[in-house]
Structure 1
Amino acid sequence: MLHSTKTPAQKRAAFRERLRGGELLRLPGAFNPLSAKLIQDKGMEGVYLSGSVIAADLGLPDIGLTTLTEVAGRAGQVARVTELPVLVDADTGFGEAMNVARTVQCMEDAGVAGIHLEDQVNPKRCGHLDGKHVVPLADAVQRIRAAVQARRDPNFLIMARTDARGVSGMDEAIERAKAYADAGADAIFPEAMTDLEEFAAMRAAVDVPILANMTEFGKSELFSTAALAEVGVNLVIFPVSLLRLAMGGAERALDTITEHGTLESLVPQMQTRARLYELLDYESYSQFDSGVYDFTV
């Protein structure tokens, strides 16, 4: 009821422990707090919060227009309702080194388990689009060092994302991943890998956990969790999938209204009221309410 029963510190410690266990952790992307509750209910290991999803939810393209305040606010709303660790896309850190430091502490205050920071120039682009540019290696390393220095909870995960694969090739992506790990990054997010061999090469290059981004309509084939685990991937995100499915359903519903004037034919596809109330834990609220007001005048 209301908030998660676990503190942010407990979630972070548990996240670290599971990462050390060597299993593949699945982090579907939430598009709001309710979808985060569903992700937990379905037995996933974590929740991902995509910058692209936050931007789209605000009616904006994913080109660095969202602010730290907007992202931290949504991150806090999502983290509040789930027992799972929440990993947040913090883009380029919303600025340079000092901004990155503030971003880390704001995200800690929001209650999330960790963030990832990328090495694109600002304003950034979606990682699976062409025309990206990365900052010089020294600048990207400075962002990671600032993040590591700024965190107050040592279990807060600092993940470094590199977009170098799509800019200058796999060799530079590996070089940058090594440099970021040396700078203190707890995990590496190699963006836009094209095949399993590239994931395997990244796995061999660094000693920290690596993440696979299984986004639809991107550069990577949609590999199964079993295939990713086989090459040593530690985390997999499905960043925009639930939003795409939800918006696809919403669009079909609007078309049905236009064509038929009623949604009766789609009712079997809808989440029922009972299922919604189950996710929201209505029963606990009712019990609490009746306990507080259980008296007569």
Structure 2
Amino acid sequence: MNTQVSSLHASIVSLDTSIQTLTDLIQSQNLEFIMEAHDGLSAAVAAQAGFKALWASGLSISSSLGYRDANEASWTQMVDVVERMADASGLPILVDGDSGFGNFNNARLLAAKLQQRGASGVCLEDKGFPKMNSFVGNRHLLADVDEFSGRLRAVKDSVPDMVLVARIEALIAGYGLDEALERATAYADAGADAVLIHSRKSDAAEILEFTRQWAGKLPVVIVPTKYYKTPVSAYREAGISTVIWANHNMRAAIAAMRTTCGRIFAEESIASVEGDVATLEDVFGLLRYDELSAAEDRYLPKHA
């Protein structure tokens, strides 16, 4: 059995169990929520908040590494970050695998390595390589349906127990619902466990209409970054499976760090910000320094 060791939580978490947990979330009849994380620290914070699973966001991980979300970060860098997230949180992780970093061979290699490092699922979008973030510009060329279906089949053949989500970019690229539905059907036939329908509009009308016409053939996952004012009740009524809060930890970190850096620079002091940042004790507690202290007492020699 595959296992991942979480030194921060002093436990051994079965990857099989994590995959089953993510599968149950995606297939649940109740609306479920997955929280973005982009490193070990944000993963630990999301776990502490009570989330059941994590979204390893391509945008957020790229941003945290100082890259743009245009395949500037390599797949090996992505895999390394996911491993730290898994160790720090002990939670199932659905990884934003972009378009698979190439053809079917790159996609299956990515998925296999992600599973080795503790990921429970991967989401692939039907674009070519390199891709551009869906909210930037208007050049979003879609992959050929048959070619992308081959990527999905290759992943499913390589890691059959891993959760596979097919992300449909037809609405992002300016095509209509018919194109999105045709692609969704093809990807279901190729072995996807769920479809993620993506939109850049400020309301959820086209997402809800897609879901209505799709009629539950596979679970539907959404990312309401742009249509954030839509009440969650609308998703429940539509029978949507899972909502991904896709980039808010990263964006919150930028805002908080910018404010803190600005104040310290202007005041040439840290005195006024001390009450507005996490205490060192909070940091030590989050990362389980108490476990390390207890382990030192147990394993290091006693000195007179």
TM-score (norm 2): 0.90
Q: 1:102 to 1:189 in 2, by over 3 A?
A: same
Q: Are 2:8 and 1:23 aligned? A: no
> What code does the residue aligned with 1:210 have?
V
Structure 2 CA distance for partners of 1:202 and 1:155, relative to 1, 3 Å: farther
Alpha-carbon separation, structure 2, partners of 1:287 and 1:82: 20
Q: State the match for 1:161 in structure 2.
A: 167
Answering whether residue 278 of structure 2 is matched by residue 271 of structure 1, we say yes
The aligned amino acid for 1:186 is D
Quote the Cα distance in structure 2 between the aligned partners of 1:108 and 1:250: 32
CA distance in 1, matches of 2:31, 2:141: 30
Contact kept? 2:100, 2:107, Cα under 8 Å:
yes
Matched residues in 1 for 2:284 and 2:233: separation?
33
Equivalent position of 1:2 in the other structure: 7
Deviations 1:93-114, CA, capped at 9 Å, x for gaps: 1110111111111111111010
Whether 1:174 aligns to 2:149 is no
Structure 1 runs of 4+ aligned residues shifted over 6 Å read none
* Runs of 5+ unmatched residues, structure 2: 1-5
Runs of 5+ unmatched residues, structure 1: none
Q: Is structure 2 residue 173 aligned with structure 1 residue 150?
A: no
What is the CA-CA distance between 1:147 and the residue it aligns to?
A: 1.2
Q: Is the 8 A contact 1:200 1:232 kept in 2?
A: no
Number of residues of Structure 1 aligned to a counterpart in Structure 2: 292
Contact 1:118–1:162, Cα closer than 8 Å, also in 2 = yes
CA distance in 1, matches of 2:145, 2:261: 48
CA deviations over 1:234-256 (Å, ceiling 9, x no partner): 11112221111111111112211
- Asked whether the equivalents of residues 135 and 200 of structure 2 are also in contact (C-alpha less than 8 Å), the reply is no
Match of 2:235 in 1: 228
Summarize the Cα distance change of 1:193–1:184 in structure 2 as closer, same or farther, 3 Å threshold.
farther
Q: For residues 222 and 150 of structure 1, what CA distance do their matches in structure 2 show?
A: 39
Q: Distance in 2 between matches of 1:176 and 1:28?
A: 26
**CA 1:182–1:2 in 2, change beyond 3 Å: closer, same or farther?**
same
CA distance 1:269–1:225, change in 2 (3 Å) = farther
Deviation at 1:146, TM superposition (A): 1.3
The residue that corresponds to 1:201 in the other structure is 209
Contact 2:100 2:106 in 1 (8 A): yes
Answer yes or no: is the 8 Å Cα contact 1:16–1:155 preserved in 2: no
Query: What SS does structure 2 have at the residue aligned with 1:262?
Result: coil
Seen in structure 2, the aligned counterparts of structure 1 residues 84 and 120 have a Cα distance that, compared at 3 Å, is: same
| Deviation (angstroms), 1:47 | 0.8
1:65 equivalent among 72, 97, 105: 72
Name the counterpart of 2:3: none
Q: Which moved more, 1:130-139 or 1:190-199?
A: 190-199
2:207 maps to amino acid: F
CA distance in 2, matches of 1:138, 1:16: 26
Listed one character per residue, the Cα deviations across residues 89-144 of structure 1 (whole Å, up to 9, x for unaligned) are 11111110111111111111111010101111211111123321101211111111
What secondary structure, in the 3-state scheme, does the structure 1 residue paired with 2:295 have?
helix
Deviations 1:202-227, CA, capped at 9 Å, x for gaps: 33314222111132xx4x34434343
2:47 alignment partner, one of 36, 40, 43: 40
- In structure 2, the CA distance between the partners of 1:160 and 1:150, relative to structure 1 (3 Å rule), is same
Which secondary structure state, in structure 2, belongs to the residue aligned with residue 132 of structure 1?
Answer: coil
Q: Give the structure 2 partner of residue 102 of structure 1.
A: 109
Q: Give the equivalent residue in structure 2 for 1:138.
A: 146
Q: CA deviation at 1:270?
A: 0.6
Q: CA deviation at 1:258?
A: 2.7
Distance 1:200 1:123 in 2: 29
Q: 1:286–1:294: structure 2 CA closer, same or farther, 3 Å change rule?
A: same
User: Residue type matched to 1:27 in 2?
Assistant: I
Tell me what 1:213 maps to.
223
**Aligned partner (choices 249, 256, 259) of residue 263 of structure 2:** 256
Q: TM-score, normalised by structure 1?
A: 0.92
1:24-72 deviations in whole A, cap 9, x for unaligned? 2221111210111111111112111111112112211111122121111
Instruction: Check whether the contact 2:39–2:82 (CA below 8 A) recurs between aligned residues.
Output: no
Structure-1 separation of matches of 2:231 and 2:13: 31
